[in-house]
A and B are shown apart, each in its own frame.
Chain A
Amino acid sequence: MHNPSSPECQRLLNSLSEFIDNELPFEGQQRLKAHLAGCQDCRVLVQTMEKTLQLYQRLEQPILPPEAVDRLWQTLKSEGCLDPDQPETPNSM
């Protein structure tokens, strides 16, 4: 088990998301990059975190079933948000 006892390892752990999102100040980003060059555990942590995010970005969005769209229309009409006679259009999504 990795024990981030070194201050730099702990700093990386605490800032991991911001580091990967490139949201740290320049000096902080550079300092952690320098740490990664010499710390395999932290390199693995960064690489596997990046891979985690890449995988989730490939996950398909849930599909809204057409019948749920129909029910949404009906509900909005019954709530007075839409005219009862307003024709529905094909789901354009």
Chain B
Amino acid sequence: MNTNEVQLVRSLQEGDKDACRQLIDRYSSKIYGVALRLMKEPMEAEEVLQETFIDACNAVEDFEGRSSLGTWLYRIATNNSLMRLRSQPEGVVSLDPSTEPDLTLVPQQLNAWPEEPERLALDQELRRVMEAAVEKLSPSLRAAFVLRDLQELSTAEAAEALGISESAVKVRLHRARLELRETLAAYFIQEGDA
């Protein structure tokens, strides 16, 4: 943790309410972003956001600073999200207890994409396809991808936030990326044929 963060943690542990405001200002948007991508529904994401900050405020005295404050909050938010997903009645939420790579995930689409995607504007349809592809991932793969590639945590930070090993993060991230690539590849090929 940097000096700024050390001071913030100390203030929080001393019960400084202004420090709590700083915590909210600094992290609420990021935590909401993760929660929304995991839960898919804004109301559920907001509930996770509230739970996360309540839990953080109540547990800050026990925070030992082994990870950064942000990583710690991501961990609380991710745990809260995944617990909610586990309790949802529709379907069984597989949290991929196995960390073995699925080597049967062979790419189906191996045509070069017809346009240079980096020059494409992220128009509404493409954005919708991309968001839908993330939502289609299983919760455990989605969590790894959101933390690592969208929130740009390091592998070590993502492992800390997810409570798994770094190698498990890499396996889940690999699978998530392959699935997303397949979805986008199918979209761009279809667009090219239109």
Residues of A within 8 A of B (CB): 1-4, 10, 13-14, 16-18, 23, 41, 44-45, 47-49, 51-65, 68-69, 71-73, 75-76, 79, 81-83, 86, 88-89, 91-93
Contact = CB atoms under 8 A, between A and B. Distances in A.
Contact of B28 (A2, A10, A17, A72): A72
A59 B122 contact: yes
Interface stretch (B69-77, B80-88, B90-98, B170-178): B170-178
B149 A56 contact: yes
A64 B178 CA distance: 29
A49 B184 CA distance: 10
Interface residues of B, number: 53
Given A17-B174, A51-B118, A45 B107 contact: yes
B174 A56 contact: no
A53 B110 contact: no
B122 A55 contact: yes
B150 A56 contact: yes
Contacts of A14: 101, 103, 174
Nearest to A20: B177
Contact of A13 (B25, B106, B180): B106
Q: Determine chain B's interface SS by DSSP, over half rule.
A: helix
Q: Which of A14, A23, A52 has the most CB of B within 10 A?
A: A52
B49 A68 contact: yes
Contact of B17 (A55, A71, A83): A83
Contacts of B28: 64, 69, 72, 93
A53 B176 CA distance: 11
Contacts of A55: 117-118, 120, 122, 126, 130, 184
A2 B110 CA distance: 7
B21 interface: yes
B181 A52 contact: yes
B117 A71 contact: no
Contacts of B126: 55
Contacts of B150: 56, 59, 61
Contacts of A44: 110-112
